[in-house]
Amino acid sequence: MSDSYQSLTFIPVEPSQFKDILGDHVLPMDEMETAYERAYGYILQKVSQLKNGHGWKDWEYSPEDMLFNIAPLSESFIFSLPLSFSSFFDDALNTQWSSIFDGCDKLLEVEMEFGEKSLTNKGSFPPPLVDIVYLLQCFAPGMLLVSPQEALGATVRGLPSLKWIDENSKILQDIFLKPEILQGLRSASIDFDFQDYMERRLTTSNTPPAEEAFYDYADRDWSVDDDNWVNKSEYESLDYEYCDIGCGYCGHCADAVVYGLDSEF
């Protein structure tokens, strides 16, 4: 996710789907949990960089099942990761994770003041956040999709670039321990077509509502009347401005709020 990347989307996945992308180079769930625990140090180092170098801060409410809970200086959203990696595969938490990761796009819309320095994130993600997202992609390819600015909606990636994998190969080896995992990540980063894979998943299955986010994200002109899919206008009408992790990011906390009373528009 270089500076040219400008959109991040969470897609619910199942661990069994990772073999479609990595072949046999997949960790069993118990080993994945252990590897994720080994990654705590790296992740928290990046969190510290976000706080010390980019104006982020600890959020006042931090659930015990979260590794951390932080927000940018603008407090436009809250960014959290779980203590247990299996939380990403809990259907009951899909809305929560979708809200958290999709909220990162708000960084592209603001310019923040931090101390005496003006920190401009407009059009790019801060590098520590990029590293966290890329690491999560190595654990769960296809769960977090990024789209490049120059081809928004045309190309998506569910794994880091080969360059990032090679530059961080020592860290990845220390986390995953098995050389074949790194080999699988390198091969898939070069050869796997996530755009085609996700479109095939969406057209051959009865798509859960949370996955409509991807299809709308990959083709902004797309619409569908299938009652089994969430109506696009309903999805876009959700407002998370007053939501937090306590309500599970329901999208309805702002329903009673009247916007624009003091606006010149």
pLDDT tens, residue by residue, 175-207 = 999 999 999 999 999 888 777 776 776 555 444
Cα(54)–Cα(171) distance, rounded to whole angstroms? 23
Contacts of residue 67, defined as CB under 8 A and 6 or more positions apart, other chains included, come to: 40, 43, 44, 80, 81, 82, 83
Give residue 242's pLDDT band: very low, low, confident or very high (50, 70, 90).
Answer: low
Say if residues 70 and 51 touch (Cβ distance below 8 Å): yes
Say if residues 9 and 145 touch (Cβ distance below 8 Å): yes
Q: Is residue 259 part of a domain?
A: no
- The phi and psi torsions of 72 (rounded to 5 degrees) equal -65, 170
Task: Estimate to the nearest angstrom the gap between the alpha carbon of 172 and the chain centroid.
Answer: 19
Would the pTM of this model clear 0.75, i.e. be above it? Answer: no
Cα(109)–Cα(131) distance, rounded to whole angstroms? 20
Q: Is residue 237 part of a domain?
A: no
Q: Is residue 250 part of a domain?
A: no
Residue with tokens 């006042």: 60
Q: Is residue 264 part of a domain?
A: no
Give residue 137's pLDDT band: very low, low, confident or very high (50, 70, 90).
Answer: very high
246 in helix, strand or coil? coil
Q: Is residue 168 part of a domain?
A: yes
Q: Which structural domain, as residue segments, surrounds residue 15?
A: 5-229
Domain count along the chain: 1
Q: Is residue 258 part of a domain?
A: no
User: Given this model, what pLDDT does residue 260 score?
Assistant: 41
User: Given this model, what pLDDT does residue 146 score?
Assistant: 84
Answer with the residue of higher pLDDT: 28 or 61. 28
Q: Is residue 247 part of a domain?
A: no
Closest to 234 (Cα-Cα) out of 248, 245, 223, 249: 223
Q: Is residue 39 part of a domain?
A: yes
Helix or strand (DSSP H, E) at 241: none
